[in-house]
Structure 1
Amino acid sequence: MKVKIGSSKLVQPLYEGNPPPTTNYIPLSVFDKVTYDQHVAIIYAYRPPTTPNATIELGLKKSLAVYREWAGRLGKDSNGEPVILLNDEGVRFVEASVDRALDQTVSIGPSASLLSLHPSLEGVEELVQVQVTRFSCGSMVVGFTAHHLVADGHATSSFLVAWGQASRGLEISPLPFHDRTIFSPRDPPILDFEHRGVEYVSKNIKKVYPLIDNSVDDIVAHKVHYTAEFLSKLKARASSMNGPHDRPFSTFESLVAHLWRAITRARGLNGQENTQVRISVDGRARLKNPKVPNGYFGNLVLWAFAKARANDLLREPLPYVAKLLHDAVVNVQDDYFKSFIDFANHKAKEEDLVPNAVADSKESILWPNLEVDSWLRFPFYDLDFGSVGVMWHILYLGN
């Protein structure tokens, strides 16, 4: 696929009235600091008729005035602490074209060719990049990349909805809550849970898995669609050993249990090898007293870890595995989040620990472990620029 770049420019926020000062900054919260220090990419595809580029760009400018962090840059304050500089330097906006029809060019599954439909993720200062690619059939693809240190999936999807609202000439609603200093540690700190080896690890730890065949060189990305009938039967089977007063396991828990077993079997792990699933847990509904304000913009995710030996995972029935996942997620509640806040502000600094997400991000593809994120409750599919064309596809490319 040959993508022709027509223009590439920086787009700044468009304010009503006098613009705010460009010398302010927002400190990263403890939740920002432990997440992945990298860009993630999403690709949207729309059937014709589609919205003009100028309308999409204008909506972007208006939404950046509300979600100002995206137009800034990562930096340090006078104490060397990481911050988001609110300097309004802008986001990258690329206009491109392909001299072929979308159906003849783009596969709906993950492929290397899709990388040309969003700007490069290497050596990027901009916190958001947008590429609008037009095809000869009138279809449009919007590639969106964003830095994870600025916002998690929940917050990023809210921004995307706001971008669509602004493009349609609507008021942005609800408005985001920007204060990242609300996560104050308790005095004295209460460390009810172990966070070493979970959110934080020593700088000197080198993770080695000698039972994994590191010579594998044909790894591919694969997208799977499960029918509603399959998921319904799977959920019933996963919940078949629950008591009469127990709620059935969720579709998410049931499917992840199935995948964990299937992937472990396919990997051919040594039976005594330990394997775990890391599951993202959104703290917005879990933190209480005080409750996190609606529309909090930033990262507010910790992880639940379900663990098992490969032998046990494959020998025990599906309900056993689903319960491992359910119990792990249930344990990450208000008290766990508060314990993490205390640990991050005291012990992590004292012991010079580093975020586990950073340590894991480079070489995890051949490990015996999995990471699972659910977008079921995020409005990613609500990015509506105002055209009457139908959204054809959305694809998360990761980092």
Structure 2
Amino acid sequence: MRVIKESSRVIKPIYEGTPPSTTHHIPLSVFDKVTYNTHIAVIYAYRPPTPPNRALELGLQKALSVYREWAGRLAKDDKGEIVILLNDEGVRFVEASVDGTLDQAMPLKPSPSLLSLHPSTKGVVELVQVQITRFTCGSMVVGFTAHHLVGDGQSASNFLVAWGQACRGVKINLRPFQNRNIFTPRNPPKFEFEHRGVEFISKKTQKDYAIDNNVIDDIVVHKVHFTLEFLAKLKAKASSMNGENKPYSTFESLVAHLWRVITKARSLSSHVTTHARISVNGRARLNPRVPNEYSGNLVLWALPRTKVKDLLREPLPYAAKLIHDAVAKVNDNYFKSFIDFANHKVVEEDLIPTADADKSTLFPNIDVDSWLRFQFYDLDFGEGCPYIFLPSYFPMEGLMFLLPSFIGDGSIDAFVTLLRDHLDSFKQICYSLD
């Protein structure tokens, strides 16, 4: 697939009435500061008919007038803290084409070839980038990148839905909640949980977490489709030792299964400790609850861990319980403990985030990002929703994305990143319920 970039420009918000000041800035919250300092890229595919590029561009400009932070820039204030300048400098808009049909480029899957379907995420000052790629069959692919420091998956999906609404000429009803100053520490602070080694590590001990970054060429992203029938069997098996207790969720059951399968495929030594880093959205967990429209990052991580010998020797319910208990622990008390710790201990102890986008491998651990509840499939520009949605190629071994299948029947697609040498073993056992 040869993608020809035809134009690239920066577009700015369009306002109705008097434009707002462009001299204000938004300080990052403690949740923004602890996340990955990188762009995240996703890919959408649409069958014809599709709207013209000018309509997409105009809708994007209107959406940016509501979601202003995405049209801004990252900078540092006089204290050296990173802030978002609300300067309306705009976002990158790229137009491209392919001399061929989309069917000829199928199947779209996370691989280096996908990188040509969105702007580069390296050395970028824009906080959002969009690339519209047209195929001779009339199909359209939209590549979208967004800087993670500005917002998490929930924030990005809200913005994308708003972009679609603006393109359709309807009122943007997903109005962002933009106050990032609501996470104030308690007085006196309460450090109820351990955050060292979870969200933060010491700069002095960072070398102990050194990772081999010379394996990128050996990394592959494998898509696994789990049918509704398989997921039901998996959930029943994971919950088989629960007795009268509530069954484990489909998510908990699937992550438990994949954690065990990946660990088997890696052929890890039995004495090694492995953990699963699982993203937990804090909007519904904080009290008072933070609305889903909150525009920013509000994610922490559950970190179930165990010895490889126990993970593989014990049946599936063992791993499911580890996950269930770890996720349940990331509750209102945990989030507030984190807020207190981040405000009082990070500078004092010279700590840095454990989230590191420059790693190439998480071996012997895994990182789980669930996009099952986000509205990515609701991006409708006026001619219908996408028929394909997937993450771009992100070569970090051990990283896993869970998405609702585009089939729309409740099945799940898992995008699992592995070393090439482990792929055959993974394929052989990924559907085994033993």
Shorter-normalised TM range: over 0.9
Q: Deviations over 1:267-318 (max 9, x none)?
A: 0111000000000000000110x33245110000000001010000000000
Task: Quote the Cα distance in structure 1 between the aligned partners of 2:313 and 2:209.
Answer: 26
- Secondary structure at the aligned position of 1:204 is classed as helix
- Secondary structure at the aligned position of 1:285 is classed as coil
Q: Deviations over 1:356-379 (max 9, x none)?
A: 113xx3235251000001111111
The partner residue of 2:313 within 303, 308, 315 is: 315
Q: Deviations over 1:65-111 (max 9, x none)?
A: 00000000000112111100011110000011111001102432222
Task: Quote the Cα distance in structure 2 between the aligned partners of 1:387 and 1:185.
Answer: 46
1:17 matched to which residue of 2?
17
- Secondary structure at the aligned position of 2:6 is classed as strand
Q: Please give the residue correspondences for 1:290-301 in structure 2 after superposition, counting only pairs within 5 Å.
A: 290-301=288-299
Task: Quote the Cα distance in structure 1 between the aligned partners of 2:103 and 2:121.
Answer: 25
* 1:371 to 2:364 alignment: no
Native 8 Å contact 1:44 1:142 kept in 2: yes
1:175 matched to which residue of 2?
175
Q: Please report how far the alpha carbon of residue 321 of structure 1 lies from its aligned counterpart in structure 2 after TM superposition.
A: 0.7
Native 8 Å contact 2:111 2:393 kept in 1: no
The partner residue of 1:336 within 334, 337, 352 is: 334
Q: Which stretches in structure 2 are left out of the alignment for 5+ residues?
A: 395-434
- Secondary structure at the aligned position of 2:31 is classed as helix
- Secondary structure at the aligned position of 2:203 is classed as coil
Native 8 Å contact 2:40 2:148 kept in 1: yes
1:207 matched to which residue of 2?
208
Amino acid across the alignment from 2:265: A
- Secondary structure at the aligned position of 2:269 is classed as coil
2:406 matched to which residue of 1?
none
Q: Percent identity?
A: 66
Q: Please give the residue correspondences for 1:355-366 in structure 2 after superposition, counting only pairs within 5 Å.
A: 355-358=353-356, 361-365=357-361
Q: Aligned Cα RMSD in Å?
A: 1.7
1:67 matched to which residue of 2?
67
Task: Quote the Cα distance in structure 2 between the aligned partners of 1:121 and 1:134.
Answer: 21
1:394 matched to which residue of 2?
389
Task: Quote the Cα distance in structure 1 between the aligned partners of 2:215 and 2:4.
Answer: 37
Amino acid across the alignment from 2:301: W
Q: Please give the residue correspondences for 1:39-188 in structure 2 after superposition, counting only pairs within 5 Å.
A: 39-188=39-188
Amino acid across the alignment from 1:161: V
Count residues with an aligned counterpart. 393
* 1:231 to 2:226 alignment: no
2:423 matched to which residue of 1?
none
Amino acid across the alignment from 2:318: Y
Task: Quote the Cα distance in structure 2 between the aligned partners of 1:213 and 1:382.
Answer: 36
Q: Please give the residue correspondences for 1:237-316 in structure 2 after superposition, counting only pairs within 5 Å.
A: 237-244=237-244, 246-288=245-287, 290-316=288-314
Q: Deviations over 1:146-170 (max 9, x none)?
A: 0000000011101111000000001
Task: Quote the Cα distance in structure 2 between the aligned partners of 1:319 and 1:293.
Answer: 33
Q: Deviations over 1:175-205 (max 9, x none)?
A: 1111101100011101111111111100122
Task: Quote the Cα distance in structure 2 between the aligned partners of 1:310 and 1:264.
Answer: 7
Task: Quote the Cα distance in structure 1 between the aligned partners of 2:36 and 2:364.
Answer: 20
Task: Quote the Cα distance in structure 2 between the aligned partners of 1:391 and 1:155.
Answer: 19
Task: Quote the Cα distance in structure 2 between the aligned partners of 1:89 and 1:324.
Answer: 46
Amino acid across the alignment from 1:199: E
Task: Quote the Cα distance in structure 1 between the aligned partners of 2:232 and 2:22.
Answer: 52
Q: Please report how far the alpha carbon of residue 392 of structure 1 lies from its aligned counterpart in structure 2 after TM superposition.
A: 2.2
Aligned pair in 2 of structure 1 residues 47, 178: CA closer, same or farther (>3 Å)? same
Native 8 Å contact 1:11 1:91 kept in 2: yes
Native 8 Å contact 1:209 1:367 kept in 2: no
Task: Quote the Cα distance in structure 2 between the aligned partners of 1:213 and 1:29.
Answer: 30
The worse-fitting range, judged by mean Cα deviation, of 139-148 and 78-87 is 78-87
Higher relative contact order (CA 8 A, sep 6+): 1
Task: Quote the Cα distance in structure 2 between the aligned partners of 1:265 and 1:209.
Answer: 23
Aligned pair in 2 of structure 1 residues 176, 208: CA closer, same or farther (>3 Å)? closer
Task: Quote the Cα distance in structure 2 between the aligned partners of 1:249 and 1:323.
Answer: 8
The partner residue of 1:382 within 366, 378, 383 is: 378
Task: Quote the Cα distance in structure 1 between the aligned partners of 2:258 and 2:70.
Answer: 35
Aligned pair in 2 of structure 1 residues 19, 146: CA closer, same or farther (>3 Å)? same
Task: Quote the Cα distance in structure 2 between the aligned partners of 1:105 and 1:37.
Answer: 31
Task: Quote the Cα distance in structure 2 between the aligned partners of 1:384 and 1:207.
Answer: 46
Native 8 Å contact 1:272 1:309 kept in 2: yes
Native 8 Å contact 1:279 1:372 kept in 2: yes
- Secondary structure at the aligned position of 1:221 is classed as strand
Q: Structure 2 length as normaliser, TM-score?
A: 0.88
Q: Please report how far the alpha carbon of residue 51 of structure 1 lies from its aligned counterpart in structure 2 after TM superposition.
A: 1.1
